[in-house]
């Protein structure tokens, strides 16, 4: 996740469509042609306010080794406990 000002969309903004569900606290951006989720815009005080969650598979020229060694954080979204990891994460 990054702050909104950290995302720079280089092209294709007119190719994106949005989807919201549930509480509508997030706006999911999808490619209108292939359906791939590109990123999600949202706002949660628990996460420090406005954020963008980027689908890593959509990034160009990302180093595989950097992805493999990057730290991961699993939030307990099932219980809306965004500051705590779920008790069980082995299956994630």
Q: Is residue 13 assigned to a domain?
A: yes
11 within domain boundaries: yes
Q: Is 15 part of any domain?
A: yes
Q: Decide if 80 is inside a domain.
A: no
The answer, as to whether pTM is greater than 0.85, is: no
Q: Is residue 65 part of a domain?
A: no
Integer angstrom CA distances of residue 36 from 42, 57, 76, 79? 18, 9, 24, 27
pLDDT at site 72: 85
Domain that holds residue 11: 4-59
Structure tokens at 22: 């549930």
Cβ neighbors of 21 (< 8 A, separation 6 or more) are none
DSSP reduced 3-state for 75: coil
CATH of the domain at 44: 2.170.150.70
| pLDDT the model gives residue 41 | 96
Report how many domains make up the chain: 1
pLDDT in tens, 24-37: 889 999 999 999 99
Question: What are the pLDDT digits (tens) for 14-24?
Answer: 999 999 998 88
């Amino acid at each position: 996740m990054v702050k909104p000002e950290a995302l720079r969309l280089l092209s294709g903004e007119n190719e994106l469509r949005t989807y919201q569900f549930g509480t509508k606290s997030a706006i999911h951006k999808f490619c209108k042609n292939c359906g791939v989720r590109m990123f999600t815009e949202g706002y949660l005080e628990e996460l420090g306010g406005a954020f963008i969650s980027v689908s890593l598979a959509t990034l160009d020229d990302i180093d595989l080794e950097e992805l493999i060694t990057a730290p991961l954080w699993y939030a307990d979204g099932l219980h809306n406990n965004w500051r705590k990891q779920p008790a069980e994460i082995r299956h994630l």
